[in-house]
């Protein structure tokens, strides 16, 4: 089992008749999935998704893969293969196409419809190639075969990429539900056929590798939903991913059965469900859907709202309802169903929303107290079964945190994948498949790129550190005027604090210390503004730390006259 080393350098030039696989996101994290394949000077991208920010990334809207390693070679990209339509696999496409709108997009009908709707907002109209399971397409030097897989969104595909250097199979996100709502099974016979040909490297979804056994059937949720609907006397509010068509279908079926009307809340939810309905993936009974503006005319017991915010996203509809910052006000007796998984890292935000909803009297139903969610990712039992079918010569777990990647690798080794051909990599690590053996050869830059409003990539880790300090410790501003020739104080110092918990009147003792420090500095001939600022910062910082055990941001303003 190989793994990256912190001292890895840049990868060498790709050897003849070799294929390079470089994940630019999705390894060591849940989201931001993007994998780069390189052969004979040409590039193929598999997925291009986003990661949603956590609490320690204040003000950030989205996190993108780092395109810097391929920015100068975007004209060599023959296409972007999209395995399915979830945001963590398609959300960064508009940002990549901003840099080169001529890159073709390849995906299934629903996947392309979802990304094209997003691209309209960015005024980008790329070339698209619609594909379906069983189809093969030559994309530059990459011969791509598409295989049906079952996931929590319709039309998901795995892709087998054939080159003279070998076959690489990327599963995308998948599970092996044997009773799927749409009847579309993961095509195990197709994977068995690929195994007979020889899968040189398998990139496999590892998200649920730690979960024993098999994932329950999606259709099992229907009974739990019916129970919740039967016991609810007022409004029912369902929070789900805006692309979870299967889950929304079950909500619509339950609402129709209990004679309730359904309104979609939130732009992405309205857009995606409209697309799914128009393409026939969402079956909507006549007169079931109403506009949210019509809800006031209906009794509470006849209302179902479907919205976003199941992960506690601060600007999503459900979070705003919990904070009393939405036109829909939660009242005593409302039932809220959080019909999605709990993505690692989002726990605090989700529980904050649950507590906020409960405070206003809602009965909150979630995965922890009712069977209102099943995962869309294969668990350990399914992965063992899958490995025994695929018989990969080399294995590289993807789509997971470190613990998921390692658990997935261990499962592969148990089924007979040689340990030295099991690669645990991380974002940016280049893996070359040469003569049938996969090995790590180097590392490229693959850090976080932050989207903050209209700004893309301008926010750095240093900026985020400043935001965290401001949010947690506040700041202190110090204004002082000094004589440019002598360094003597002309006016001030004036000290003000915001968010630090220190009253402005408490700074009397430190003003004397600061005046003395500035006087000594001037006597020693230290007159340069930057040095004086540093002296002010150190003096104030030490006094605050000694007396209040706080470390606020200190902003010294030194004016020379």
- CA-CA-CA-CA torsion for 481, 487, 489, 494, nearest 10 degrees? 40
Can you tell me the distance from the alpha carbon of 381 to that of 408, in angstroms, rounded to the nearest whole number? 11
Cα end-to-end distance, the chain, whole Å: 66
Phi-psi region of 501 (alpha: psi -120 to 50; beta: other; left: phi over 0): left
Distance CA 109, CA 106 (A): 10
DSSP string, 170-210: E--S-B--SS-TTS----HHHHHHHHHH--SEEEEE-TBTT
Helix, strand, or coil here: 312?
A: coil
Are the CB atoms for 481 and 489 separated by under 8 Å?
Answer: yes
Burial class (CB in 10 A: 0-12, 13-18, 19+), 71: exposed
Binding annotation: 373-377
Q: State phi, psi for 124 to the nearest 5 degrees.
A: -120, 130
**71 phi and psi angles, rounded to 5 deg:** -55, -40
Distance between CA atoms of residues 318 and 306, nearest Å: 10
Annotated binding site for substrate: 373-377
Altogether, the residues listed in the chain come to a count of 561
Q: Give the rounded distance of the alpha carbon of 368 from its chain centre.
A: 22
Instruction: Break the chain down into helix, strand, coil percent, rounded to 5.
Output: 35, 25, 40
| Residue 292 burial (C-beta neighbours within 10 Å; 0-12, 13-18, 19+) | middle
């Amino acid at each position: 089992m190989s793994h990256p080393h912190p001292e890895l350098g840049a990868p060498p030039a790709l050897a003849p008749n070799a294929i390079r696989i470089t994940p630019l996101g999705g390894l060591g994290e849940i989201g931001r999935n993007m994998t780069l394949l390189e052969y004979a000077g040409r590039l193929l991208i598999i997925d291009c998704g986003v990661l949603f920010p956590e609490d320690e990334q204040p003000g950030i809207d989205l996190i993108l893969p780092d395109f810097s390693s391929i920015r100068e070679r975007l004209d060599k990209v023959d296409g972007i293969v999209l395995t399915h339509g979830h945001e963590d696999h398609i959300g960064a496409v508009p940002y990549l196409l901003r840099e080169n709108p001529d890159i073709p997009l390849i995906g299934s009908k629903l996947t392309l419809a979802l990304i094209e709707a997003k691209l309209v907002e960015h005024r980008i109209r790329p070339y698209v190639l619609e594909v379906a399971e069983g189809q093969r397409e030559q994309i530059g030097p990459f011969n791509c075969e598409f295989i049906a897989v079952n996931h929590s969104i319709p039309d998901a595909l795995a892709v087998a990429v054939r080159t003279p250097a070998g076959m690489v199979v990327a599963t995308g996100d998948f599970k092996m539900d044997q009773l799927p709502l749409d009847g579309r099974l993961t095509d195990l016979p197709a994977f068995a056929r690929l195994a007979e040909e020889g899968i040189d490297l398998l990139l496999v979804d590892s998200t649920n590798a730690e979960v024993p056994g098999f994932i329950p059937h999606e259709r099992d949720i229907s009974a739990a939903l019916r129970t919740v609907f039967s016991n609810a006397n007022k409004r029912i509010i369902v929070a789900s991913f805006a692309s979870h068509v299967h889950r929304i279908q079950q909500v619509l079926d339950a609402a129709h059965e209990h004679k309730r009307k359904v309104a979609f809340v939130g732009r992405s939810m309205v857009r995606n469900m409209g697309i799914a309905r128009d393409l026939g993936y969402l079956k909507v009974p006549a007169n079931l859907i109403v506009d949210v503006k019509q809800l006031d005319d209906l009794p509470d017991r006849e209302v179902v709202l479907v919205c976003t915010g199941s992960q506690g996203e601060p600007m999503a509809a459900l979070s705003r309802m919990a904070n009393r910052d939405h036109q829909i006000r939660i009242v005593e007796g409302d039932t809220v169903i959080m019909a999605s998984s709990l993505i690692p890292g989002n726990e605090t935000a989700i529980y904050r929303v649950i507590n906020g909803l409960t405070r206003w009297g809602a009965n909150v139903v979630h995965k922890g107290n009712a069977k209102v969610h099943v995962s869309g990712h294969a668990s350990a039992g399914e992965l063992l079964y899958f490995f025994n079918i695929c018989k990969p010569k080399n294995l590289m777990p993807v789509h997971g945190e470190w613990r998921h990647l390692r658990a997935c690798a261990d499962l592969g080794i148990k089924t007979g994948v040689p340990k030295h051909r099991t690669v645990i990599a991380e974002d940016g690590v280049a893996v070359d498949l040469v003569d049938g053996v996969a090995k790590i050869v180097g590392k490229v830059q693959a850090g976080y790129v932050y989207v903050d409003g209209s700004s893309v990539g301008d926010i750095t880790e240093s900026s985020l550190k400043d935001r965290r300090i401001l949010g947690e410790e506040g700041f202190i501003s110090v204004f002082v005027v000094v004589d440019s020739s002598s360094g003597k104080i002309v006016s001030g110092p004036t000290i003000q604090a915001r968010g630090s918990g220190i009253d402005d009147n408490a700074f009397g003792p430190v003003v004397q210390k600061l005046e003395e420090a500035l006087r000594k500095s001037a006597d020693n001939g230290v007159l340069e503004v930057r040095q004086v600022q540093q002296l002010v910062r150190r003096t104030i910082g030490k006094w605050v730390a000694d007396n209040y055990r706080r470390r606020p941001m200190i902003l010294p303003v030194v004016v020379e006259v």
